[in-house]
Chains A and B, each alone.
Chain A
């Protein structure tokens, strides 16, 4: 899909899933927005609008807000079962956050950026989307994923940066 063409992928470094996020300097999640009613969908699955009173079937790809506020957070202290692919041996715990994107009216889950844990988070705190390595393939390819990184409170958060 067009997501692939908009994405510059360095050799040996590829998204763990195609078409869900961009990987440029200012990475963003990719959703689809209904041309009829404006409902936004993430992941960008499906070819029709899920608003039951809409019935629209024309969806356009959109970049979602890069900043949002923490809806809640937790962490994984034990290694998740397959198909999770651990990046390190032994396993290193990681945090996860559900983040509210005001402009889209969505809450999106994601892992929290490397180096940050639950002590760095609180409900309502601002975070920004980054792309980091999720795991390394058997052939050495780094598989990347979107993550939420705590940032200083400031302008732009919650305003959605007008990217929709």
Chain B
């Protein structure tokens, strides 16, 4: 394991709508992760913060904000932003510094405090900002895009609103015993279908909420972990890929795809390429997975991810779900944590929360939701403006 990076500690602040400063959650998670690792804050040589764009200047300089809150220690600092993929990019920065031999111990922290309702762009007249323009000119919210993807599953693959609802039912059940989940309540298909439609064909209960939360991960070189006798899981891949031109699936916050007039589309869509890059890096494949944490911004999107991460062929995700393959106890449980369905999204913390769950699963510590004998886990997500994120961890 020499030359490798290991995760030696993880920690979270429970997700919710607590309304406190984001630093509160970040510090809580960081201390939990350090305690989990058996390390002190002063052992940390690099702190990487996941930026939050909704909390003013301290949010823009999240790395230093957390370092200051934990007590200035002289540690090196970095801050990363990649929308929903922020945590993976922060993790990648920490991993790279360790692999380069520039430090042995790194702490990665992401935390957010979110307003109620739709995620909206920053204020002001911003005519050169596509994220502002899509609201102004189209009224296109995030669920608009989720609705487009969901409708294609129905019209092309024969998915039904009941299938989408079953994803919510599954994830709600998975998250029942997760102490960090915001929503811990069983939901029925009927309840999902009875909730109001937000963006046809998606109901309110098909779409994830926005939440407050914080997550932290402590990474060290394998050599350091061995020397200090720390328990760790292996960080096998961190894929932070961007799309390949021409990107043919219209992504948030874009008005249009790239043009295929001059260049034929790549063999893999952008979302397909994210996990693929991680598999290549780890020398593993979808058949090796014990579990996956994927970004279920909507229930239908979770089904897209089954195909994007190679669990099945295009158009087969509904069958996988109906057969119970992705339910706890099935062939490859997806979102054993309960996923965004149970958490709601705390943007800069979410990709790290996915990693925390996989670490707990691989160490047999996911009480009430344990995937038996878990050996390899993958996380996948995508941040707007072309940010891929996939992490593979193994025992």
Render B229-264 as a binary contact track against A, CB cut-off 8 A, 1 for contact.
000000000000000011010100011111111110
Which residues of the other chain, B, contact A109 by a CB distance below 8 angstroms? 134, 138, 140, 250, 254-256
Name A42's contact: one of B144, B152, B255 (CB within 8 Å). B255
Q: How far, in whole Å, are A78 and B254 apart by their CA atoms in the complex?
A: 21
Which residues of the other chain, B, contact A75 by a CB distance below 8 angstroms? 147, 199-200
Are B118 and A81 neighbours in the complex by a CB distance under 8 Å? yes
The chain B residue sitting closest to A147, CB to CB, is: B138
Which residues of the other chain, A, contact B262 by a CB distance below 8 angstroms? 34, 37-39, 51, 54
* Interface residue? B133 (CB, 8 A): yes
* Interface residue? B117 (CB, 8 A): yes
Given contacts A54-B262, A78-B198, contact A73 B151 (CB under 8 A): yes
The B300-355 residues at the A interface (CB cut-off 8 A) are none
Given contacts A81-B120, A107-B256, A109-B255, contact A123 B261 (CB under 8 A): no
Q: How far, in whole Å, are A78 and B199 apart by their CA atoms in the complex?
A: 8
Output the residue of A37, A78, A83, A103 with the most chain B CB within 10 A.
A83
Are B151 and A72 neighbours in the complex by a CB distance under 8 Å? yes
Render A43-86 as a binary contact track against B, CB cut-off 8 A, 1 for contact.
10000001111100000000000000001111111101111110
Which residues of the other chain, A, contact B127 by a CB distance below 8 angstroms? 17
The chain A residue sitting closest to B149, CB to CB, is: A72
Render B120-144 as a binary contact track against A, CB cut-off 8 A, 1 for contact.
1101011100001111111111011
Are B259 and A104 neighbours in the complex by a CB distance under 8 Å? yes
Which residues of the other chain, B, contact A16 by a CB distance below 8 angstroms? 136-137
Given contacts A34-B262, A85-B136, contact A51 B151 (CB under 8 A): no
* Interface residue? A98 (CB, 8 A): yes
Q: How far, in whole Å, are A72 and B300 apart by their CA atoms in the complex?
A: 14
Given contacts A75-B199, A76-B199, A123-B151, contact A43 B117 (CB under 8 A): no
Are A134 and B155 neighbours in the complex by a CB distance under 8 Å? no
Render A91-109 as a binary contact track against B, CB cut-off 8 A, 1 for contact.
0001110100001111111
* Interface residue? A22 (CB, 8 A): no
Which residues of the other chain, A, contact B144 by a CB distance below 8 angstroms? 74, 76, 96
Name A106's contact: one of B141, B151, B257 (CB within 8 Å). B257
How many residues from A make CB contacts under 8 Å with B? Answer: 49
* Interface residue? A113 (CB, 8 A): no
* Interface residue? A27 (CB, 8 A): no
Render A101-127 as a binary contact track against B, CB cut-off 8 A, 1 for contact.
001111111110000001000111000
Are B155 and A122 neighbours in the complex by a CB distance under 8 Å? yes
Are B263 and A51 neighbours in the complex by a CB distance under 8 Å? yes
Are B257 and A107 neighbours in the complex by a CB distance under 8 Å? yes
Counting residue pairs across A and B whose Cβ atoms lie within 8 Å, the total is 141
* Interface residue? B148 (CB, 8 A): yes
* Interface residue? B196 (CB, 8 A): yes
Q: How far, in whole Å, are A106 and B136 apart by their CA atoms in the complex?
A: 22
* Interface residue? B197 (CB, 8 A): yes
Are A76 and B151 neighbours in the complex by a CB distance under 8 Å? no
Minimum distance in angstroms from A115 CB to a CB of chain B: 17
Which residues of the other chain, A, contact B121 by a CB distance below 8 angstroms? 83
Minimum distance in angstroms from B203 CB to a CB of chain A: 10
Q: How far, in whole Å, are A163 and B126 apart by their CA atoms in the complex?
A: 31
Q: How far, in whole Å, are A122 and B125 apart by their CA atoms in the complex?
A: 35
Given contacts A84-B139, A118-B200, contact A38 B261 (CB under 8 A): yes
Which residues of the other chain, A, contact B134 by a CB distance below 8 angstroms? 109
The chain A residue sitting closest to B133, CB to CB, is: A17
Are B155 and A123 neighbours in the complex by a CB distance under 8 Å? yes
Minimum distance in angstroms from A125 CB to a CB of chain B: 10
Minimum distance in angstroms from A61 CB to a CB of chain B: 15
Q: How far, in whole Å, are A71 and B246 apart by their CA atoms in the complex?
A: 16
The chain B residue sitting closest to A41, CB to CB, is: B259
The chain B residue sitting closest to A17, CB to CB, is: B137
* Interface residue? A145 (CB, 8 A): yes
* Interface residue? B156 (CB, 8 A): yes
Are A96 and B140 neighbours in the complex by a CB distance under 8 Å? yes
* Interface residue? A40 (CB, 8 A): yes
Are A111 and B151 neighbours in the complex by a CB distance under 8 Å? no
Which residues of the other chain, A, contact B255 by a CB distance below 8 angstroms? 42-43, 108-109
The chain A residue sitting closest to B126, CB to CB, is: A83
Which residues of the other chain, A, contact B257 by a CB distance below 8 angstroms? 106-107
The A24-40 residues at the B interface (CB cut-off 8 A) are 33-34, 37-40
Minimum distance in angstroms from A129 CB to a CB of chain B: 13
Name B141's contact: one of A34, A43, A81 (CB within 8 Å). A81
Q: Provide 8 A-B residue pairs closer than 8 Å at the C-beta atoms, listed in order of the A residue.
A: A52-B245, A72-B155, A74-B199, A76-B199, A77-B200, A105-B259, A106-B256, A107-B250
Q: Which residues of A contact B (CB under 8 A)?
A: 16-17, 33-34, 37-43, 50-54, 71-78, 80-85, 94-96, 98, 103-111, 118, 122-124, 134, 145
Closest 6 CB pairs of A and B: A74-B147, A105-B260, A123-B155, A81-B120, A80-B139, A72-B148
